[in-house]
Amino acid sequence: MYRLKKLELVQLILNTNKPTLLEKISQLLKQEKEADWWDEIPESVQESIEIAIGQANRDEKIPHSAVLKEARAKYGL
């Protein structure tokens, strides 16, 4: 699926003689490679994840079956 698109892009890159375009493509690909999903999520979500990890590390977990049981009772499922 993506293979054809990649081949098309390679062909376009090989056929261009514009150094500025090549530099922009290079920068874009470097930025994409360096991007970390963690840095792209909101700070509030990061904090929630860190809290959850701390709770899990302290063994403050609720079994999935207990969560389902509570949801079924609460919402009549």
What CA–CA distance (Å, rounded) separates 65 from 29?
A: 44
Q: Where are the alpha helices (DSSP H) in the chain?
A: 2-15, 19-34, 37-40, 43-57, 64-75
Q: Are 61 and 55 in contact (CB under 8 A)?
A: yes
The overall average pLDDT reported for the chain is 91
pLDDT band at 1 (very low <50, low <70, confident <90, very high): low
CA–CA dist 75, 73 (Å, integer): 6
pLDDT greater than 90 at residue 22: yes
What's residue 73's pLDDT?
A: 95
Q: At 10, is the pLDDT very low, low, confident or very high (cuts 50, 70, 90)?
A: very high
| Residue that is written with structure tokens 């969560």 in the block | 67
pTM above 0.75, yes or no: no
